[in-house]
């Protein structure tokens, strides 16, 4: 997809919007990447990698991407399927003799990779998710399998299962004759040339990881639901559940990884396999209440009438989300280092801003576009805050305090160099009225009067006002 002029402008605003949302939600740090047509068009970071030390977050910092690991495991599995080394309808026990005779062994590879096996989510003791015990190793996973993993009959309904993906990793190991980490490296990471992504962290990391690590690891932070301050949380190795939740990556590399399920990217899989991964097998509900679905290692959700695939990740101190528009070859990834980091909300917001630029409502001429953009800026009053920005050919007044930047926006029509007419989003606004811009010596809007009464402020409080 060729990069058109509206896209860089929209990306600049998306990054600014994200920086403000990070500040407003009190998230320590947010890393974001957007890839369009295979080109990394945004790679940015805001805030701190460690709130206690104040270390600035960079685009090189690596995050625990948690359940994104399932998409990586699905990619590895589908490569083995294409090579004829495993079939989606194989029972797990055909490849892992230790599972023979167990309900886990009777589960199909397809059921494991789609959360259709009816298996227990994390086991009967979830202390490892509370940093009170180690994650299960292979021996504990097999013991769980022997005790029985079924909680409902297989292929009955969607039932999310980290244990299921742990069992899938046993199949991958048996088929490849290597550890799951080595299999993921050879099947997925090495072919893409990725150096910051790994299947897991070492269980006993050396004091100096040296050249094996291409970027520092962020510090995870707890939630604010019961405390006034965020606690620092550990980031343990995940043992036999690495395929479910162990992976480490950056936003930039994650957009490259999940781009491999788009129509345009044939580096890893054939077109039929990519379509099969994206096919909705189960219906479910997203954490934000939206209608959602699941395919083979991929979440599905609708944004502005289009289906986006991808995955999210919830880790001890980190929350992450990646969205993929497979048809338009667009990937958005947002990584946060707080357990309540609102990554879903932020990723959807960025995706909506990008979509507005890719599907413009209007196509103004250069003169009209220049006039519209001359009104842009961030403004506030005692009543609220607004971003004035041109997106998709229209001049919009967006409330960055809202979770969805484009849910209810006022459309502004320039009347002349200093006045805009407001088409209010609701009848409660100043519809059909004029807002008057007062400009500074540089021609920037310093304040609004008339139907609005607001003054220019920095895009993020505490920062110098952007030019």
DSSP string, 75-87: HHHHHHHHTTS--
Report phi then psi at 97, rounded to 5.
-55, -30
Res 157: pLDDT: 95
Distance set, CA 217 to CA 65, 73, 97, 325 (Å): 11, 22, 37, 28
Position 73 confidence tier, pLDDT thresholds 50, 70, 90: very high
Report phi then psi at 305, rounded to 5.
80, 5
Q: Report the C-alpha gap between 299 and 284 in whole angstroms.
A: 10
Distance set, CA 149 to CA 45, 108, 141, 226 (Å): 41, 14, 10, 33
Tell me which residue has tokens 């069992």: 167
Query: Domain 1-225+235-359, what architecture?
Result: 3-Layer(aba) Sandwich (3.40)
Q: Report the C-alpha gap between 383 and 212 in whole angstroms.
A: 51
Q: Report the C-alpha gap between 378 and 399 in whole angstroms.
A: 10
Res 141: pLDDT: 97
Q: Tell me if 348 sits within 8 A of 323, measured CB to CB.
A: yes
Res 204: pLDDT: 65
Res 154: pLDDT: 96
Res 2: pLDDT: 38
Q: Report the C-alpha gap between 122 and 136 in whole angstroms.
A: 10
Q: Does position 212 have pLDDT exceeding 60, yes or no?
A: no
Q: Does position 42 have pLDDT exceeding 60, yes or no?
A: yes
Q: Does position 1 have pLDDT exceeding 90, yes or no?
A: no
Position 213 confidence tier, pLDDT thresholds 50, 70, 90: low
In terms of phi and psi (left: phi > 0; alpha: psi -120 to 50; beta: otherwise), the region of 37 is left
Distance set, CA 328 to CA 6, 263, 266, 394 (Å): 16, 8, 15, 22
User: Could you read off the pLDDT of 252-266 as tens digits, one per residue?
Assistant: 999 999 999 999 999
Tell me which residue has tokens 């690596």: 62
What average pLDDT score do residues 440-455 get?
Answer: 97
Q: Report the C-alpha gap between 458 and 395 in whole angstroms.
A: 19
Provide the token pair at 133. Answer: 């015990």
pTM score: 0.95
Q: Report the C-alpha gap between 137 and 75 in whole angstroms.
A: 23
Res 206: pLDDT: 54
Position 466 confidence tier, pLDDT thresholds 50, 70, 90: very low
Residues 6+ apart with CB under 8 A from 403: 342, 345, 349
What residues form DSSP beta bridges with 391?
Answer: 394
Res 4: pLDDT: 46
Q: Report the C-alpha gap between 260 and 257 in whole angstroms.
A: 6
Provide the token pair at 400. Answer: 């960055």
């Amino acid at each position: 997809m060729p990069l058109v002029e509206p896209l860089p402008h929209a990306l600049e605003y998306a990054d600014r919007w994200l920086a403000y949302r990070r500040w407003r939600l009190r998230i320590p740090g947010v890393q974001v990447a957007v890839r369009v047509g295979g080109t990394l068009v945004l790679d940015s970071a805001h805030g701190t990698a460690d709130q206690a030390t104040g270390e600035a977050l960079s685009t090189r910092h690596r995050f625990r991407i948690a359940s994104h690991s399932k998409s990586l495991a699905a990619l590895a599995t589908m490569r083995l399927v294409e090579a004829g080394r495993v079939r989606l309808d194989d029972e797990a026990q055909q490849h892992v003799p230790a599972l023979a005779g167990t309900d886990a062994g009777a589960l199909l590879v397809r059921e494991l990779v789609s959360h259709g096996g009816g298996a227990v989510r994390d086991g009967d003791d979830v202390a490892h998710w509370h940093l009170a015990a180690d994650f299960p190793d292979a021996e504990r996973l097999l013991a769980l399998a022997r005790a029985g993993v079924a909680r409902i009959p297989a292929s009955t309904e969607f039932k999310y299962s980290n244990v299921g993906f742990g069992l899938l990793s046993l199949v991958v190991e048996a088929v490849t004759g290597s550890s799951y980490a080595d299999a993921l490296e050879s099947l997925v990471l090495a072919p893409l040339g990725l150096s910051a992504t790994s299947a897991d962290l070492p269980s006993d990391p050396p004091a100096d990881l040296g050249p094996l690590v291409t970027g520092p690891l962020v510090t995870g932070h707890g939630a604010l639901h019961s405390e006034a301050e965020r606690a620092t949380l550990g980031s343990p190795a995940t043992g036999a559940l690495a395929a479910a939740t162990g992976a480490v990556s950056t936003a930039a590399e994650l957009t490259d990884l999940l781009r491999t399920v788009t129509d345009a990217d044939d580096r890893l899989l054939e077109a039929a396999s990519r379509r099969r991964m994206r096919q909705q097998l189960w219906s479910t509900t997203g954490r934000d209440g939206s209608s959602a679905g699941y395919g083979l290692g991929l979440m599905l959700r609708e944004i502005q009438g289009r289906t986006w695939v991808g995955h999210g990740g919830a880790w001890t101190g980190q929350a992450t989300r990646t969205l993929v528009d497979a048809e338009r070859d667009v990937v958005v990834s947002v990584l946060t280092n707080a357990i309540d980091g609102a990554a879903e909300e932020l990723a959807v917001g960025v995706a909506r801003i990008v979509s507005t630029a890719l599907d413009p409502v209007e196509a103004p001429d250069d003169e009209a576009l220049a006039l519209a953009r001359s009104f842009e800026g961030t403004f506030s009053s005692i009543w609220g805050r607004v971003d004035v920005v041109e997106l998709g050919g229209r001049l919009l007044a967006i409330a960055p305090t809202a979770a969805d930047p484009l849910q209810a926006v006022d459309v502004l029509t320039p009347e002349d160099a200093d006045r805009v007419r407001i088409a209010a989003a609701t009848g409660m606004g100043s519809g059909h009225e004029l807002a008057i811009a007062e400009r500074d010596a540089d021609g920037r809007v310093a304040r609004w009067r008339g139907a609005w009464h607001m003054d220019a402020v920095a895009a993020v409080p505490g920062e110098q006002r952007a030019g």
